[in-house]
Structure 1
Amino acid sequence: MPYRSLRTLSEAGKEFMRMTEHENLPPLDQMLGRPPPPLEVPYTKGRAFIPLPPPEDIVLPAIDLRDAIEQRESVRDYAPEPLALHELSFLLWCTQGVRRVVDGAFTLRTVPSAGARHAFETYLLINRVEDVPPGLYRYLALEHRLAEESRDPGLPKHVTAAFLNQPHILESAVTFLWIAVPGRMTWRYSERGYRYLHLDAGHVCQNLYLAASGIGCGVCAIGAFDDAAINRLLGLDGEEQFLIYAATVGRKV
């Protein structure tokens, strides 16, 4: 379908779908021989690192996959008990765990991603996890460890406000914050890659729901937030990196 200029905001979604049809895409960076972006945003803050238990060492009770799927629901009320560090490690592994790096250009992980581009970084707002002080952390998936971003005690309330004051953020043990790095996806798919970012977010969050059921936890996915406010709190520019999805996790009451 040929390009048509956007006339009203109510047409924005339709226009996005039209403009990201294959026939409207410019030449792809990958096809032009341009190098791919880094597999992970470099961590340069030099703050504390927290190693995570290796996934292969984590022993958890078995859960029937059919039960996990049939019983999946969003949970917004959480018990006050904390998560154990090995449980958080398990959830991170299930949602962004790196199984293999291939040719330094892409990764094979525990979730699907268009073209194996895996264009997400995982931030965590931690309230109650054993052996981890409350604060904001980033999951360094290639090394399977946490990196401290902020220990500001006022941050949870500011984050909650940016999520339109949804109270389960403050009540959760941890809130997963998935950050999109679109350049990793558009390198291969140009502007159509923005479609795939949203598909990938669904893959990741569904894995979180299923994995959390295995450790007696509930999850609530969150798509409603003030984009500018949360990106500002996380130190993101809103274009090269931005929040795309989030989910709270905590023990079931």
Structure 2
Amino acid sequence: MQYERFEGSWFLKSNWHLVKTGQSDQSKGVPVPPQEEPPAPEDCVIDLPPPDSILKAFGETQEQKNEASSGRDMKSREKVIPDVSKRAAVLYHLLNNRKSRRKYTEEPLTIEQLSYLLWAIEGVKENRGKFSFRTTPSGGARHPLDIYIFAHKVEGLNVGLYRYLPVEHELVLERQGDDSVALDEALNGQFWNAACVVIWAAVPYRSEWRYGKAAYKLVALDTGHSCQNLYLACESLGLGTCAIGAYDQEKLDAYLGLDGEEMFAIYAAPIGHVA
């Protein structure tokens, strides 16, 4: 079968031959880039509820589970570690029911729901200063993504654009105000009156520092890992989302205030209660 082969397909192939010993900034002794851009002193920083606060509606919090798991008697541990079949059933349900959902109600998200979703897609489980282990895998633990959130209908948050600080589990207010019309235009009409929109921004140098030219495929893979976590987390809360790759690059970069080179939008996903 004859068909046109586009030049960009090379990007999908393994390119580890491009990683040459002694050629990366890491091997040259260049300081490691920060895990996140710290907020300016004058920025408005908002503490998010603990990501497991959403569990209060369903039973034990993680703190209570940790307390139980630290006990020596097996009965307390049995409460913490459910039967494997039950855990598999929960995951099966989430995977089987996961799908893209584009119609949302007017109901707002709670701040606890947003906290849980952000932790699910990029939350830090263990911070070791220059790198961290998170809820999503990342090549070399580089995590070359910044997470932006347009909060349209989120209880406890003013309407506006925020940036997630995963290490601190906080939000930084980038700007306040309802500019959902501009965002809808940047998303090519795919805002769908969502309660909020998550936008992934690539910060390639975090991976380039270690992997050079081989970093770019890793950035795309990491974004996919993160978005799948969002799908499953939304499904677990009865919420809907839909990954968007068909956006206007220049308009979305401008909406986020990014230069389009050192940082640029790479993915987006509206979130809301399913209509």
TM over 0.5: yes
Change (3 A) 1:36 1:215: same
| Post-superposition offset of 1:17 | 5.5
RMSD: 2.0
Counterpart CA distance in 2 for 1:144 and 1:116 is 18
Match of residue 65, structure 1, among 84, 88, 91: 91
Query: Do the aligned partners of 1:127 and 1:170 also contact (CA within 8 Å) in 2?
Result: no
Q: Deviations over 1:72-100 (max 9, x none)?
A: 10000001111111010000111111111
Which has the higher Rg, Structure 1 or Structure 2? 2
1:1-253 pair list within 5 angstroms? 11-16=6-11, 21-25=15-19, 27-44=23-40, 46-59=42-55, 60-61=57-58, 64-102=90-128, 104-153=129-178, 155-166=179-190, 169-253=191-275
Q: How many residues of Structure 1 are paired with residues of Structure 2 in the alignment?
A: 240
TM-score (norm. length: structure 1): 0.89
| Post-superposition offset of 1:57 | 3.4
Query: Do the aligned partners of 1:37 and 1:184 also contact (CA within 8 Å) in 2?
Result: yes
Counterpart CA distance in 2 for 1:94 and 1:23 is 33
Query: Do the aligned partners of 2:110 and 2:155 also contact (CA within 8 Å) in 1?
Result: yes
Query: Do the aligned partners of 1:175 and 1:249 also contact (CA within 8 Å) in 2?
Result: yes
Counterpart CA distance in 2 for 1:126 and 1:57 is 19
- Aligned amino acid, residue 93 of structure 2: D
Structure 2: runs of 5+ lacking an equivalent: 60-88
TM-score (norm. length: structure 2): 0.82
Match of 1:5 in 2: none
Counterpart CA distance in 2 for 1:24 and 1:132 is 45
Structure 1: runs of 5+ lacking an equivalent: 1-9
| Post-superposition offset of 1:51 | 1.3
Counterpart CA distance in 2 for 1:32 and 1:131 is 46
Structure having the higher helix fraction is 2
